[in-house]
Amino acid sequence: MSNKFACSIKRIRFDENYEPANSTRLTTNFANLARGESREENLRRTLAMINNRFNSLATVDNPKGDRYSLEIDIISAEIDIEGNGQTFPFIETLKSTIIDHQTGERIEGMIGNSFSSYVRDYDFSVVLPALGCKFNEMPEDFGDLHGKLYLHLVNSDVFKAEFKKQPVICLSVSTTKTYYQTANVHPVLGVEYTNDDYSRTDAYFAKMGLSVRYFKPQGANAPLAFYCAGDLLRDYTDFELISAISTMESFQRIYRPEIYNTNSPAGVVYQPSLSYGDYSLTRVVYDRVERGQLAVKQGKWTEENFIKPYKHILDEWAANFKVETAQKNQAA
Amino acid identity at 129: P
pLDDT digits (tens, 9 = 90+) for 81-110: 999 999 998 898 999 999 999 999 999 999
CA–CA distance, 256 with 282 (Å, rounded to integer) = 10
- Average pLDDT on 19-29 reads 56
Q: Angle, to 10 degrees, between the axis of helix 238-255 and the axis of helix 39-57?
A: 140
Cα dihedral across residues 46, 49, 52, 53: positive or negative: negative
The pLDDT value given to residue 284: 80
CA–CA distance, 188 with 102 (Å, rounded to integer) = 22
CA–CA distance, 111 with 183 (Å, rounded to integer) = 28
CA–CA distance, 192 with 206 (Å, rounded to integer) = 19
CA–CA distance, 284 with 162 (Å, rounded to integer) = 32
pLDDT digits (tens, 9 = 90+) for 162-215: 999 999 999 999 998 999 999 999 999 999 999 988 888 999 999 999 999 999
Which pTM was predicted?
A: 0.91
CA–CA distance, 129 with 15 (Å, rounded to integer) = 36
